[in-house]
Amino acid sequence: MSEYVILADSCMDLSAEQRQQFKIEKPVPGSVVYPDGTDHLAAIDWEEISFEDFYHRLDKKENFKTGLPNQYLIGERVEEYFKQGKDIIAVTLSSGMSGTYNSFLLVKRDLEEKYPERHLYVVDSKRYSGGISILCVLASLNRDKGMSAEENFKWLEEKKRCLHQVGMLDNLFFLQRSGRISKAKAFFGTMAGVKPMADFSNETGMPCVLGNARGYKAGYKVADEFLKALLSKQEPQVMICVHSIREEQCDEFVKIAKANAPEATVLKCRMGQSNGVNVGPGLIALFFFSDSPVSKDCEEERKLLASILSKK
C-alpha cells in the first residue's frame, strides 16, 4: 500500500497543534485582499494578523475579500508529495461555494499524467470550515487503521453525505454579500435577538437556513435537541465546534456535544480568514454525523427544527 498524505485548502480550520496531532498537512492557502487593496496569502496560523484583530475589523465593516488557492500553488504542493512517492487525499471547500474543487481536479489531471504511479484523490466536502476539518480528521483515523488511500476516499465520499451542522449566526449579511444567500433572506434572517440556524444541502453544497432561535439560551436548547435527534449512534463519534470570535458560546456547544456523547472526540476550532471573510463575526457551528444522509435540500431537518422550536 502506497504511503499517502491528507491535504486541504485553507478553508479547513484545524490549528497547527490539531494538524500535528492527526498528521494532517498544512493547507494550501487561498488569497485574501485586505481593505487597502493589497493581496495576501490566507494567514492559516494567524501569521500576519491576529484572530481578534481580524474579526474586530470585519465587525467594523472593513472590506476584506477572498480568492481561490492559486492553481500553481496547488500543483506545487501536489508535485512535492508525488516526488516523495506519496499519494494524496485532498478535501476541498464545497464546489457550490468555490472553484477550488475544480482547480484540484485540473491539477490531478495534469500531474497524474506526469506521475502515472501516483494518485490524487479529491473529495468535494460539500461543506466548509469544520466540515472540511472533520473529514480530514476521519481520513487520518482511517489511515491509522490501515485503510488505503483509495478505500479511504470512497469511504469519505459516502460518509460526507451524513455530515450535519447545527449552530447560530449573528448576522447573515456577510453570507449575502458573498452571494451565499439572497438579500431578502439576509434581511429577514437578521433581526435583533434572532439567531439564524442552518444545516448544509448535499445537493447544492450551500447552507440552508432551517429556522431562527430567539437568543443564545434558546439556541443552546434547540441545538441540544437537534443533536439528540440526529447524532449517530455509532462509535467513536467525532465532532468539531468552530467559532468566529464567539468563544464563550462555542464552549457551551462543546458542553452540549460532550453531554450527548461522553466518549466522543470533540475539537474546538477558531474560524480562519478564508471562511471568516464570508461569514463574519458571530458564528458558532457544531459539525457532527448522523446515521442517515442529510435529507434532500434539508427538508426533514427543517421540519425537525420547526418541531423543536414549536415546543419552546
Q: Is 308 left (phi over 0), alpha (psi -120 to 50) or beta?
A: alpha
Which of 64, 139, 133 is CA-nearest to residue 286?
Answer: 133
B/e letters for 36-58, b = 16+ CB within 10 Å, e = fewer, are: eeeeebbbbebeebebeebbebb
Residue ranges and CATH numbers for the domains of the chain are 4-160 (3.40.50.10170), 162-310 (3.30.1180.10)
- Please state the rounded mean pLDDT for residues 160-167: 96
- Please state the rounded mean pLDDT for residues 167-192: 57
Q: What is the DSSP string of 245-267?
A: S-HHHHHHHHHHHHHH-TTSEEE
What global pTM score does this model have? 0.94
User: Collapsing DSSP states into helix, strand and coil, what is residue 14?
Assistant: coil
H/E stretch holding 87 reads: strand 87-92
User: Residue 203: what pLDDT?
Assistant: 96
Residues 6+ apart with CB under 8 A from 87: 2, 3, 4, 5, 81, 118, 119, 120, 121, 149
User: Residue 2: what pLDDT?
Assistant: 78
Rounded CA-CA distance 68/277 in Å is 13
User: Residue 186: what pLDDT?
Assistant: 46
Rounded CA-CA distance 43/304 in Å is 38
Is residue 181 scored above 70 in pLDDT? no
Contact between 200 and 127 (Cβ < 8 Å): yes
Is residue 206 scored above 50 in pLDDT? yes
Contact between 289 and 159 (Cβ < 8 Å): yes
| pLDDT tens digits, 130-148 | 999 999 999 999 999 999 9
| pLDDT tens digits, 4-35 | 999 999 999 999 999 999 999 999 999 999 99
Average pLDDT, rounded, for the chain = 92
Among 142-146, 193-197, 221-225, 279-283, where is mean pLDDT lowest?
Answer: 193-197
Q: Is 31 left (phi over 0), alpha (psi -120 to 50) or beta?
A: beta
